[in-house]
């Protein structure tokens, strides 16, 4: 099932999402989230982006031509960032909930994360480069943070009208979106 993607301005995107009860069967939801993400040509999708305020996201960074991205197709349940490296780097990010806007965001290059997979097996991993980037963008979503929240005051002002336009449905995308009332 392909869900409509919640657009900027919907309060669910600003909310801290709830922990999943351990053992909850999320396999169908994960499969639907991958379908929804691929349909919109995304590399990550967090549950709040389909209107579900739970701490879950899916990523598939295999399309990036980087060594670390090989095999980086995963479901993350109740994830945590337990360590952040000192080095930050800038990378241009976009978001399926904020179509048409891309901006550079600074984030740590390396992070150590802990999470459960779709079988509720726990993992602890070090992520670097693009993988760490995608993880942090999606992790922000389950804390109610958008990449535009990381921008400077000037960039925020420059994007203000476009963001307002997105929240009012002024977008040109080939996937279905849900706009705030
Ligand atoms: Zn996003």
* Token duo for residue 56: 């879950």
Q: For residues 162-181, give the mean pLDDT.
A: 96
pLDDT in tens, 29-59: 999 999 999 999 999 999 999 999 999 999 9
Distance 48 CA to ligand 1 centre (A): 10
C-alpha torsion sign, points 10, 58, 16, 83? negative
pLDDT at 167: 97
DSSP symbol at 1: -
pLDDT at 148: 97
Distance 85 CA to ligand 1 centre (A): 22
Pairing of strands 5-6, 177-178: parallel
Strand order in the sheet with 122-128: 44-46, 56-60, 73-84, 110-116, 122-128
Distance 142 CA to ligand 1 centre (A): 10
The span from the CA of 76 to the CA of 56, in Å, is 6
* Residue 88 known to be catalytic: no
Q: For residues 7-17, give the mean pLDDT.
A: 98
pLDDT in tens, 73-89: 999 999 999 999 999 99
List beta partners, residue 83. Answer: 112
Distance 42 CA to ligand 1 centre (A): 9
Of the residues 104, 109, 125, 138, which is catalytic? 138
**Per-chain mean pLDDT for the chain:** 97
pLDDT in tens, 100-141: 999 999 999 999 999 999 999 999 999 999 999 999 999 999
Q: For residues 90-99, give the mean pLDDT.
A: 98
Q: For a pLDDT cut of 90, what percent of the chain falls above it?
A: 99
Is the pLDDT reported for residue 180 higher than 90?
A: yes
Distance 28 CA to ligand 1 centre (A): 21
Is the pLDDT reported for residue 159 higher than 90?
A: yes
Domains and CATH numbers, the chain: 5-171 (3.90.45.10)
Distance 99 CA to ligand 1 centre (A): 10
Distance 96 CA to ligand 1 centre (A): 6
Q: How confident is the model at residue 181 (pLDDT cuts 50, 70, 90)?
A: confident
């Amino acid at each position: 099932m392909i869900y409509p993607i919640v657009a900027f301005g919907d309060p669910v995107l600003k909310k801290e999402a709830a922990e999943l009860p351990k053992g909850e069967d999320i396999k169908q939801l994960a499969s639907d989230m991958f379908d929804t993400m691929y349909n919109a040509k995304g590399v990550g999708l967090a549950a709040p982006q389909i209107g579900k305020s739970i701490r879950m996201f899916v990523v598939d960074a295999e399309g990036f031509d980087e060594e670390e991205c090989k095999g980086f197709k995963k479901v993350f349940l109740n994830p945590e960032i337990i360590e952040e490296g000192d080095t930050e780097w800038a990378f241009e990010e976009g978001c399926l909930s904020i179509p048409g806007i891309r901006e550079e965001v600074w984030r740590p290059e390396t992070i150590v994360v802990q999470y459960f997979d779709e079988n509720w097996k726990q993992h602890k991993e070090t992520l670097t480069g693009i993988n760490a980037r995608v993880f942090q963008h999606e992790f922000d979503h389950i804390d109610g943070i958008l990449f535009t929240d990381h921008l400077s005051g000037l960039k925020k002002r420059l994007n203000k009208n476009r963001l307002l336009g997105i929240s009012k449905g002024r977008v040109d995308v080939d996937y279905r979106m849900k706009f705030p009332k």
